Structure 1
């Protein structure tokens, strides 16, 4: 997919699974299990789908998946499957090496979004992309240094703290343009200062939805993850973004849907519905 100067492609980093009840919050099992079948441990399969942008002399990665540092126990808990399809192999399929990446925009620092930012090498935790700068919202960084009881399990310090030690961390303060044609929209329902990259050339627009709309099923207003710190804020953020996405015909890229890469939406009797399922090619 071409948007302005950027070639945009999805990067599959492997599959994992989370508790279905946690992914759908107050929505009853009888409803969500029709669409996403849980396994014997009530987990649903999810993608960890990132975006690669090439253009303007830059190679930009948006999020980087679970990474390679999870313990065997954690890999079992999260049903991590990254043997054949993983971050490095997916980049290589597009002719990109770890050293080629110039910039990494981290929507937030939960382990399934930022775990690939660092790796273990000769007994040390080092940046996965040695020539890249990593972009994180300042307010979110401060939260990640001292998370609360509700979200502490979503943060793994080795994923991001070494970025500061190696001098490759860039703290961003608020919304606005981060690169030509790439703007950041902040959302605070899922976590403080989650940054959603919006790529636009005035004709085509793609919004990387990260955990505002993790799957196609989360377009509905009440379908909100139990992981969200501020679920009522999430609803208001959906009500703000979905009308604009319809009016301006945005493509909404989905990070965690195991089957659908992107969608378009339209208003319905209750909120919004998906009208198109798209591939980002």
Structure 2
């Protein structure tokens, strides 16, 4: 779709499943299963939606999905179904891996950075051979020194090879990447998680990443158990949703299996709800 002078395209990297309880934290199952039914292993369906932005003659990719470096054990554990793959989705818009100029990772968890790299024989190499990759410096440092609480979410093959190839552009806080495309640090899920703000001709789109992974997470207390700092998430959500509502931002959800984007509104009780936008 058009966003001012820019083009934005949600691009898929298939679907997977995660534990429903972990996805909703302290919210009781009797509440969250009304919107997100679980399978026999208590897992809920999630999409993997990345974003292609065409701005100033550049192809910018926000997040890279799960990637293809998974063995059978993990494919089964997470019910990974990469139909279509990210590269297939990009191809539908006439874009090949070689055409991507810049990759922005919201953070480095396996379902957001898995497609950063790919295997070529015994080696792991950048999946986008002409692109630079942007991440918060603190996020990278946390990823390479992951502890017992965080290491399951980080896979070094998704980010260390890029450092060896000198592909990273490390950021320190909010930053404009190109005119109209900026990153905004949205603390909570990880200490240095960032979302991406796209602004052109008075229109704003905001790619949420894991700040608000699905539409079902719009209520302020609906916060993932995966979030390292849930009270920070709460305050970040409060600030972002207030601005999104007041300034009519288009919100883009990375993990909702049914709704990709929409405009957030408040009802008479002050609760947020979404007016979905159809993706053609």
Q: State TM-score, norm by structure 2.
A: 0.97
1-side partners of 2:245 and 2:6: how far apart?
A: 23
Is 1:70 the counterpart of 2:70 in the alignment?
A: yes
In structure 1, stretches of 5+ residues that fail to align are: none
Counterpart in the other structure of 2:177: 178
1-side partners of 2:4 and 2:167: how far apart?
A: 27
Q: Name the SS of the counterpart of 2:30 in structure 1.
A: helix
Counterpart in the other structure of 1:211: 210
Counterpart in the other structure of 1:188: 187
2-side partners of 1:170 and 1:97: how far apart?
A: 22
Size of the alignment, in residue pairs?
280
1-side partners of 2:246 and 2:103: how far apart?
A: 30
| More displaced stretch, 97-106 vs 261-270 | 261-270
Q: Name the SS of the counterpart of 1:199 in structure 2.
A: strand
Contact 1:263-1:274 at 8 Å conserved across structures: no
| More displaced stretch, 143-152 vs 40-49 | 143-152
1:219-238 equivalences in 2 (<5 Å): 219-238=218-237
1-side partners of 2:63 and 2:226: how far apart?
A: 19
In structure 2, stretches of 5+ residues that fail to align are: none
Counterpart in the other structure of 1:17: 17
Q: State TM-score, norm by structure 1.
A: 0.97
Counterpart in the other structure of 1:37: 37
The Cα offsets for residues 55-78 of structure 1, whole Å up to 9 and x where unpaired, read as: 312111000100000111011111
Counterpart in the other structure of 1:279: 278
Q: Name the SS of the counterpart of 1:170 in structure 2.
A: strand
- Aligned-residue RMSD, C-alpha: 1.2
Q: 1:43 to 1:262 in 2, by over 3 A?
A: same
Q: 1:203 to 1:58 in 2, by over 3 A?
A: same
2-side partners of 1:146 and 1:271: how far apart?
A: 41
Counterpart in the other structure of 1:252: 251
The Cα offsets for residues 18-39 of structure 1, whole Å up to 9 and x where unpaired, read as: 0000000011111111111111
Q: Name the SS of the counterpart of 1:99 in structure 2.
A: helix
